Amino acid sequence: MNTPDWVAPAFLDALPPDVRLQMLRLYRDGLRDQAGRLEPVLESVGALQAAASIAHKIAGSAGMMQDQALAQAARQLEDRLREGAPEAHGQVQDLLELVRRTLGAIERAIG
């Protein structure tokens, strides 16, 4: 997946530093939690619907933080999973790689 790394949206600059830091930490922690749930769920019964739900949550978090690349990738994966598309399992790994890159960018923004 060849997408640019996430850059903190400009609206965060208008917030007090403690609120900005809190929002970044919430985004980071939420992504870590959802990514940690996504891979193992693929091995379980009902995996596609559970994974689609997690992808939906990642897309929502990313959209809130104006992370268009991650939001789009998560929405596309959610759609493929709900359709039962065979390529969805490979797309999970692509999404997880993008999440890892985003988490790195968040850590750099936090400092």
Q: For position 16, what pLDDT does the model report?
A: 92
For 109, other C-beta atoms within 10 Å of its C-beta total 16
Of 32, 27, 35, the closest CA to residue 7 belongs to 27
Would you call 10 helix, strand, or coil by DSSP? helix
Q: For position 7, what pLDDT does the model report?
A: 78
In order of 17, 22, 23, 40, the CA distances from 74 in angstroms are 29, 23, 20, 17
Average of per-residue pLDDT across 63-74: 93
Average of per-residue pLDDT across 46-68: 90
Q: For position 8, what pLDDT does the model report?
A: 80
DSSP for 56-85 reads HHHHHHHHHTT-HHHHHHHHHHHHHHHHT-
Please state, for a pLDDT cut of 70, what percent of the chain lies above it. 92
Model-level pTM? 0.79
